[in-house]
A and B are shown apart, each in its own frame.
Chain A
Amino acid sequence: MTDCGSFEKPELVCPAGTPAALRTAVDAGADAVYCGLANETNARNFAGLNFSAQALEQSIVYAHQRNAKVLMAVNSFATAPRTSLWHDAVDIAANAGADAVIVADIGVAAYVAANHPDLRLHLSVQAGASSPEAIRYYCKEFGVRRVVLPRILTVGEISAIHREIPCEIEAFVFGNIGMMSEGRCSLTNYAAGISTNMHGVCSPASAVRYVGNSDGSTSAELGPFDIDCYSAQQPTGYPTICKGRYTTPDRSEPYYAFEEPISLNLSSLLPDLMRAGVTALKIEGRQRSRSYVHMVVSAYRRAIDDISAGLQPDLTGLAALTEGGKETQGAFKTKKWR
């Protein structure tokens, strides 16, 4: 048995990069699935992924028939003179029957509030709202109903914020963990000329090359830069600048200057997060396969149900899915995590 204290059973929010992944998530026990259109309005605008308007509509029907919600991410930052692209994405979500839109840009938030007042509005992690004052501002001005917190807060800080804001909290519990200034990272721009935040893609695959070397190692290149080199047996991660290894004048050996390839896994903190007032637990990974979705969603579904029933959750077996073969509790456990 586990000591749970008092909490409401949280919503399990799961990723889908394709309609097949969405159906997999729903079937595996997701309470809600988040997804986005195949364009720059979506902060996971990766090649070969995402939804057309028609696929979104069909997927929402599938989810609703099984009592699952669909949250649509329109969570990149709208740029003049192309703001109509973001407005259109919101309209598509509303017309398709999405249960909420997840936005980062205040202009897009204002558009939702003015044109779709009945459409539930969630504040994306990309907005980087991490203080009660910032969150209350979004709630007051745009009617935000839920904030997805940046991954820079301890569980104790989340609990304190919960007591000071009028909206729900959604927190990441598993998956990719990147730069701490979420929604502000411009490293990809430097190497590839396009923006994570404005074009929705970090390390676009079109700019990534893996080059085999004569010694059996592989070099990872992003645009004109070598961002890592690893031996044949060495685990690796995504080809992002923040998880590359570099030499400096002070260091002759390459090292992880920003972050290591590692995945967030808060399985052991789930009871604490629930007690802290987190309404929704979010799994990252819209770029991942339906196999990943099935395994992670199933495991977290069981864990949430077990904890809610006062049982000890079993979340072993997810390590194989982690980036670099490593996992962390990040800042949720301590600010000294690196």
Chain B
Amino acid sequence: MSNTHFESLHDQRSFIAQTLPGLFGRVIAPLPLFPIQPVLLRIVREVTKNRPELFERLGPHVRSTFIIEVNELPFILRLCPDPERPELTAHRRSDSISHDAKISGPFAPLFDVMDGRADSDALFFSRDITISGNTEAAVCLRSALDDLDGSIVEDLMTMRGPLYAPLRFALSHLRRPHTGPII
């Protein structure tokens, strides 16, 4: 890294977005998951409270369970977007977790889709993102995220409290330079 030279702030932020998730994953790999769980629960509750429109597009899959497998992380995320009892939990990759649909890929494209800055179909065509299980559930989740004004990432960056300062800091650095619209 000492030889890394950045032509611009744009290059620097891209570099951070590409390397930070892997670094973070390696650092936390040996650590227990329980400190993450309350943060994830708060995140999903905030989204549920602030984004009721999200659930309309999920239609029959509002109680489906999704596994989100980020390549660089040592754990997987299990999401159940049930508006009455939302859940977002971290699990070891070795755990056998029941689910309806699984969405996998590197951090950057998954993050960009969640942020409304990338086209998920194009990422699927290029095989950056893969899906398995119930395709309809995965498609509905994609459409629900895409129909939001702004993005969930923007929402998370406004979460208050010292506990979420590291999250805000990380998101602000992970957010890549403009690659698409935030409406």
- Using a CB–CB cutoff of 8 Å, the interface residues on chain A facing chain B are 17-21, 23-24, 27-28, 46-49, 204-206, 208-212, 218, 230, 232-237, 239, 261, 287-292, 294-295, 320-325
Contact = CB atoms under 8 A, between A and B. Distances in A.
A210 B130 CA distance: 9
Contacts, number: 110
Given A47-B136, A208-B135, A19 B147 contact: yes
Given A21-B146, A210-B131, A205 B136 contact: yes
A288 B144 contact: no
B132 interface: yes
Contact of A47 (B118, B143, B148): B143
A235 B125 contact: yes
B132 A210 contact: yes
Given A206-B134, A325-B125, 9 more contacts: A20-B147, A47-B143, A206-B135, A208-B135, A235-B126, A292-B122, A321-B119, A321-B121, A325-B126
Contact of A261 (B125, B127, B138): B125
Contacts of A237: 125
A289 B125 contact: no
A291 B116 CA distance: 7
Contact of A48 (B58, B113, B122): B58
B132 A287 contact: no
A56 B146 CA distance: 17
Contacts of B6: none
Q: Which 4 A-B pairs have the closest CB atoms?
A: A48-B143, A48-B140, A291-B180, A205-B136
A23 B183 contact: yes
Contacts of A288: 119, 121
A287 B121 CA distance: 9
Contacts of A206: 134-136
B126 A320 contact: yes
